[in-house]
Chain A
Amino acid sequence: MLSLKDVWAHYGSVAAVKGISVEVAEAEIVTLIGSNGAGKTTTMRTICGLHKPTKGEILFEGKRINGLDPEKINALGIAMVPEGRHVFPQLTVMENLEMGAYLRKDAAGIRRDLEEMFTHFPILKERHKQLAGTMSGGQQQMVAMARALMSGPKVLLLDEPSLGLSPLMTQQIAKIIKKLNEIGRTIVLVEQNARLAFLLAKRAYVMEIGRISMSGLTVDLKDDPKVRETYLGV
């Protein structure tokens, strides 16, 4: 459904992503793990169009999307929950969700999806009039996820959803991610918390200084001695 072929991305003359290839199939959760500075976030920013790749190809449903502007990529069906959540702080929760559906014209579909969001995230219904910037980190993560889902995306990109959240809140977010996948959502998950990522995803790519060093089924990778030592801390 989504594939990256030998994608390179630079900041100035420094290469942050050095020729990675990633495949994402429909309705699966794929995770990208790696330590700080491995290039995971750059990869995500490159997929959603915020960063232009310098080389390589990104195909979405068979069409090249690299080089397109983020608003075009959103229109094609890729929605991103950025690292650090980035809710619109001075917009209410409801307005944040409306912005997620910005390009949609089907009022009935928007209403239906809004109801769906409120069943996934009941707190958002309760707090729909609150300014998003005044909510807790976990609640903001929910706003950001619901906002992305409001565009009715075919692929959801989640960049570090557990960052800065309490263990309890992390669990809650993990449950929702799992549920979203069970109802058929395709998800690309970037996480520093490899344990969590392995729990959720079927397949994983391990990134190290801009390259994919390993990939495969999470059930196999989690028994790999190097992965165990470096990322799972066992």
Chain B
Amino acid sequence: MDSATLLQTFANSIVAGSIYAVIAVGLAMAFGVMKMANFAHGEFFMVGAYTVYVCYGLMGWPFPVAVLMAIPVVALLGVATERFIFRPTRENVLAGFMATAGLALILQVLIGQIWGVGLMRSVPTPYMGALDLGGVRIGWQRVLVIPSAIAMLFALWYFLYHAKAGKALRACAQDPETARLQGININRMTMLAMAISGALAGLAGALMAPIHPVTPYMGHGIILTAFIVVVMGGMESIAGAILAAVLLGFIHTFVTTLSDAVTAQMVGVACMAVVLIVRPQGLLGRVKA
């Protein structure tokens, strides 16, 4: 690998890691508050991409507006999922898992019925050109992903550590029963967690729409990666998810460049297995007292 390829791959790794982080943090957060995994999280990402396809690709709205649309659209989807799937199945973890897996299929088929299953929806590139870093060129479209991800994660961190509702959300994740004793409404908190989780997945999908094939099944690959990231990072740990996302971004991108994408996926899973053997609670996970 020559130095130009190395730099190029390095840059691509950071882009991939940023996207993984935004998606996985949403998944970890929903899991932290509800102790239930959302198997439709990849489809949330897909709906975010389709929002951009419809608003920007079909209706011709400005790209940033389309991206900003995806956030509330998928946040609402998250809220509806909480209200109609997670809340009724709160006492029954297995039913919750099955129901979100079902939701994933429903969303895939629904989107396929409306906009077709065919190869892919093409979303025109809104920002042509590339950033030139001494021979290494990264399309502006990809560069854009990095500050967007950082801004979103920073906003989330600020909310969780400085806003009263954010602190209450952390309290709920740590001890829901005791949170109720303080007057915190659990239903409202799980709804908030799912809204944030959806917003993050929606943003990720929206940013990826111009650089990733937009198909009803695009959530498949990403959900696998997101689960690997969350497990590696330590199920409920947001910082862990970010760290693992960046690591996996590098692993996937470098192995893909040196070999191929299938090998990259295998190496990623192997890394997760190693982490689980060495540190079963995940990189930044905590052992439950």
A interface residues, Cβ below 8 angstroms from B: 48-50, 69-71, 74-75, 79-80, 82, 86, 88-91, 95, 98-100, 102-103, 133, 147-148, 151
19 contacts between A and B (CB under 8 A): A48-B181, A69-B180, A70-B181, A71-B185, A80-B181, A82-B177, A88-B170, A88-B178, A89-B289, A90-B286, A91-B171, A95-B167, A99-B167, A99-B168, A99-B171, A99-B179, A100-B182, A147-B182, A148-B181
Cβ–Cβ < 8 Å partners of B177 in chain A: 50, 70, 82, 86
Q: Are B183 and A71 in contact (CB under 8 A)?
A: yes
- Determine chain B's interface SS by DSSP, over half rule: helix
Interface residue ranges of B211-226 to A (CB < 8 Å): none
Chain A residues within 8 Å of B80, by CB = none
Task: Please give 11 more A-B residue pairs, beta carbons under 8 A apart, in addition to A103-B182, A148-B181.
Answer: A50-B177, A74-B182, A74-B183, A79-B181, A90-B174, A91-B167, A98-B167, A99-B184, A102-B164, A102-B182, A102-B184
Q: Contacts A90-B170, A102-B164; is A71 near B178 (CB within 8 Å)?
A: no
Q: Kindly state the interface size class of chain B when it binds its partner.
A: 10 to 19
- Of the residues A82, A90, A103, contact of B178 by C-beta under 8 Å: A82
Q: Which chain B residue has the least Cβ–Cβ distance from A96?
A: B171
Per-residue A-contact encoding for B257-287, CB less than 8 Å = 1, 0 else: 0000000000000000000000000000010
Closest Cβ of chain B: how far from A72's Cβ, in Å?
Answer: 8
How far is it, in angstroms, between the C-alpha of A151 and the C-alpha of B170 when the chains are bound? 19
- Residues of chain B lying within 8 A (CB to CB) of residue A90: 170, 174, 286
Task: Write the nearest CB–CB distance from B156 to chain A, whole angstroms.
Answer: 16
Shortest B136–chain A CB gap in Å is 40
**B175 part of interface (Cβ distance < 8 Å):** yes
CB-CB < 8 A to B175: which residues of A? 86, 88-89
A34 smallest CB distance to B (angstroms): 22
In whole angstroms, what is the CA distance A90 to B287 when docked? 12
Counting chain A CB atoms within 10 Å of each CB, the highest count among B171, B181, B185, B286 belongs to B181
